[in-house]
Structure 1
Amino acid sequence: MSTAELRYANQFEIIRSEEKDRYLISQLSQQLDELYTKLFGLNNFHIYQPYLHRLSELLYYLTTTLSNRQTIGEEYVCLIQYDPITKRIPSLMRRLFMIFFRIFGDLISKYFLTTFLIRPIAEDFFHPKLSLQTIELITRFIITSIERTHKISFYLTGYYYNISKILTRIRYLIYSRSTSESIEIQSNMNKTIKLLSLCLCIQHIIETYTSLKQVALSISQHRNQLNLIAEEEKEKEKKIVSEDITSSTDYVRCPLCYELAISNVALVPECGHVFCWQCIHTWVAENQTCPLCKTNTTQSRIVHLINY
């Protein structure tokens, strides 16, 4: 004895539908790739390939979901999109938003996370010049963590397979007949789903720990690079200051030995010329004149300048 009923689709039925759609989108994407290479060659193909894949998704859902038709996967499993709020098929605008978020949601979330969350936190706690590689790593970690958490939630509840369906509140209905055999199968499936959810939780914890280590390592390396740059800038400033000091004391460079006479300066009072104390004493002992202007002087007349 069996009874027909219209019920919410379970996890495995939704996954079968999604896998079928994903396969067809990949086939369409390959055809677009071949068309692009035939028209434009392989130049810059690696740049435009991700956009071609998004274009294939957009074309697929425009010709199915937005045209008020089932996708191939939904038709394969006999799924019907359902709006629990209005209790009818989702409106055109709701389906349009669902397609938009499904295809471009990662780009939008990446932009908002980077602009309004990661950069302000970096300016407050890390460094305003946080490297683009580190920002990309943090953004990918946050987005990946949200996706993994949502996947675990889907396997536990069976509500929404894709985050875009959470935002638009679109679920799946399926028409089926309940028998004692189907009830037993459903019970076994529930046990399998619980085991799978546990495995996903363990995987999520391990991958989160690994990703956090990578983020911490990237931030540490970036800080070390900034410290090295700061030290190099300080060394340059010290060098500039020392060069300025040197240039400002050129007038006390000894004309005899061509060394700076900073702490041991001697003055010939008759003419005012400055020399090293040792150099001028040695010269005057032999010549009794100033080495520059030949003005007569003696060793006793030489003045030792302190703190010149």
Structure 2
Amino acid sequence: MSTAELRYANQFEIIRSEEKDRYMISQLSQQLNELYTKLFGLNNFHIYQPYIQRLSGFLYYLTTTLSNRQTIGEEYICLIQYDPIKKQIPSIIRRLLMIFFRIFGDLISKYILTSFIIRPIAEDFFHPKLSLETIELISRFLITFIERIHKIFFYLTGYYYNISKILTRIRYLIYTRSTSDSILIQTKFNHTIKFLSLCLCIQHIIESYTLLKQIALSINQHRHQLNLIAEEEKQKQTKIISEDITSSTDYVRCPLCYELAISNVALVPECGHVFCWQCIHTWVVDNQTCPLCKTNTMQSRIVHLINY
């Protein structure tokens, strides 16, 4: 005996449908890439290729979901989009939002995370600011972390393969016939799903740990570079100050002791030569002449210069 029923699609059925749609979009994207290269050549192709991929997805869903038709993957598995809140086919607005989030959701989430979460936290708790490379790594880690947590949740519950469907509350229904064999298959399927969820959790932990190490390394490298720059600036400032002091006091370097006569400066008025106060007094006591030009002078004639 078998009974027909309309039930929610399980994880494998949804994954098979998504893989079929992903393959069709990749084929369409490849054709658009070839069309672009024929029309405009390879110049700037790498710049526009991501936009061509998004355009491919939009055109695919425009001609299927937005046109009240099943996608190739949904038709292949016999899936029907369903609104569990209103218990009907999703409205055109909800389907349009789902497509918008699916195609541009990564850009929107990256902008929100970078502008309103990562940068403010970095400015508050990190000094100096994080580099653009580190911010890129952190945003990629957070987006990947959310996606992996969602995938684990999907494998465990079967709800919403895409985050875009979570935001728009769109699920899948499938029409099947249940038999005793199908019940046994469903039991084995549940065990397989639990095993896959465990494997996915282990993979998620390992890859998250690896990415966190990259982020920590990037932060340390950035801090090291900034410390080197700060140290170089400090050395430059010290050198400039030292040169200024030297240049401003070179003319009062004592010819006797070869030290800078900064405070105790003495002048021989007969010739105008400058010495240390202590040095010239010691010399004049014995010689009564200028040490440089041998001009006659006396100890009482030496002038002590103040604020020279």
Per the normalisation by structure 1, the TM-score is 0.90
Tell me how far apart the structure 2 counterparts of residues 128 and 252 of structure 1 sit (CA, whole Å). Answer: 43
Q: Tell me if 1:221 matches 2:215.
A: no
Tell me how far apart the structure 1 counterparts of residues 156 and 281 of structure 2 sit (CA, whole Å). Answer: 95
Tell me how far apart the structure 2 counterparts of residues 126 and 289 of structure 1 sit (CA, whole Å). Answer: 63
Q: How many Å apart are 1:51 and its aligned residue?
A: 1.1
Please give the secondary structure, in 2, of the residue aligned with 1:249: helix
Tell me how far apart the structure 1 counterparts of residues 131 and 86 of structure 2 sit (CA, whole Å). Answer: 47
Contact 1:284 1:297 (C-alpha < 8 Å) held by counterparts: no
What is the aligned partner in structure 2 of residue 288 from structure 1? 289
Tell me how far apart the structure 2 counterparts of residues 168 and 117 of structure 1 sit (CA, whole Å). Answer: 24
Aligned length: 307
What is the aligned partner in structure 2 of residue 199 from structure 1? 199
Supply the AA of the counterpart residue of 1:202.
Answer: I
**Alpha-carbon displacement from aligned partner over 1:138-165 (angstroms, at most 9, x marks no partner):** 0000000000000000000001000000
Supply the AA of the counterpart residue of 1:19.
Answer: E
Q: Relative to structure 2, which stretch is displaced further, 134-143 or 233-242?
A: 233-242
Q: How many Å apart are 1:250 and its aligned residue?
A: 3.8
Please give the secondary structure, in 1, of the residue aligned with 2:65: coil
Please give the secondary structure, in 2, of the residue aligned with 1:175: strand
What is the aligned partner in structure 1 of residue 130 from structure 2? 130
Q: 1:254 to 1:74 in 2, by over 3 A?
A: same
Supply the AA of the counterpart residue of 2:179.
Answer: T
Supply the AA of the counterpart residue of 1:288.
Answer: T
Contact 1:285 1:299 (C-alpha < 8 Å) held by counterparts: no
Q: Tell me if 1:231 matches 2:231.
A: yes
Q: How many Å apart are 1:98 and its aligned residue?
A: 0.3
Please give the secondary structure, in 1, of the residue aligned with 2:64: coil
Tell me how far apart the structure 1 counterparts of residues 40 and 260 of structure 2 sit (CA, whole Å). Answer: 70
Map 1:1-308 → 2, pairs under 5 A: 1-253=1-253, 260-262=260-262, 265-270=265-270, 272-275=272-275, 288-289=289-290, 291=292, 296-298=296-298, 302=302
Tell me how far apart the structure 1 counterparts of residues 50 and 97 of structure 2 sit (CA, whole Å). Answer: 21
Q: Relative to structure 2, which stretch is displaced further, 274-283 or 143-152?
A: 274-283
Q: How many Å apart are 1:257 and its aligned residue?
A: 10
Please give the secondary structure, in 2, of the residue aligned with 1:43: coil
Contact 1:289 1:298 (C-alpha < 8 Å) held by counterparts: no
Q: How many Å apart are 1:259 and its aligned residue?
A: 7.4
Tell me how far apart the structure 1 counterparts of residues 255 and 73 of structure 2 sit (CA, whole Å). Answer: 94
Tell me how far apart the structure 2 counterparts of residues 157 and 193 of structure 1 sit (CA, whole Å). Answer: 9
Give unpaired runs (5+ residues) of structure 2.
none
Q: 1:251 to 1:171 in 2, by over 3 A?
A: same
Across the aligned residues of Structure 1 and Structure 2, the Cα RMSD in angstroms comes to: 2.8
Give unpaired runs (5+ residues) of structure 1.
none
Contact 1:80 1:172 (C-alpha < 8 Å) held by counterparts: yes
Tell me how far apart the structure 1 counterparts of residues 103 and 121 of structure 2 sit (CA, whole Å). Answer: 28
**Alpha-carbon displacement from aligned partner over 1:118-148 (angstroms, at most 9, x marks no partner):** 0011011113531100000000000000000
Q: 1:108 to 1:266 in 2, by over 3 A?
A: same
Supply the AA of the counterpart residue of 1:6.
Answer: L
Supply the AA of the counterpart residue of 2:231.
Answer: E
Supply the AA of the counterpart residue of 2:173.
Answer: L
Tell me how far apart the structure 1 counterparts of residues 227 and 30 of structure 2 sit (CA, whole Å). Answer: 47
Q: How many Å apart are 1:282 and its aligned residue?
A: 7.5
Supply the AA of the counterpart residue of 2:68.
Answer: N
Supply the AA of the counterpart residue of 1:126.
Answer: F
Tell me how far apart the structure 2 counterparts of residues 185 and 247 of structure 1 sit (CA, whole Å). Answer: 91
**Alpha-carbon displacement from aligned partner over 1:49-88 (angstroms, at most 9, x marks no partner):** 1111111001101111111110000000000000011100
Tell me how far apart the structure 1 counterparts of residues 128 and 110 of structure 2 sit (CA, whole Å). Answer: 18
Tell me how far apart the structure 2 counterparts of residues 256 and 243 of structure 1 sit (CA, whole Å). Answer: 22
Tell me how far apart the structure 1 counterparts of residues 106 and 19 of structure 2 sit (CA, whole Å). Answer: 20
Q: Relative to structure 2, which stretch is displaced further, 283-292 or 195-204?
A: 283-292
Q: Relative to structure 2, which stretch is displaced further, 148-157 or 283-292?
A: 283-292
Tell me how far apart the structure 1 counterparts of residues 45 and 258 of structure 2 sit (CA, whole Å). Answer: 66
Q: How many Å apart are 1:261 and its aligned residue?
A: 4.0
Q: How many Å apart are 1:297 and its aligned residue?
A: 1.3
Q: Relative to structure 2, which stretch is displaced further, 192-201 or 208-217?
A: 208-217
* Identity fraction in percent: 82
Contact 2:284 2:297 (C-alpha < 8 Å) held by counterparts: no
Q: How many Å apart are 1:255 and its aligned residue?
A: 7.5
Q: How many Å apart are 1:214 and its aligned residue?
A: 1.2
Per the normalisation by structure 2, the TM-score is 0.90
Tell me how far apart the structure 1 counterparts of residues 31 and 70 of structure 2 sit (CA, whole Å). Answer: 22
Q: How many Å apart are 1:16 and its aligned residue?
A: 0.5
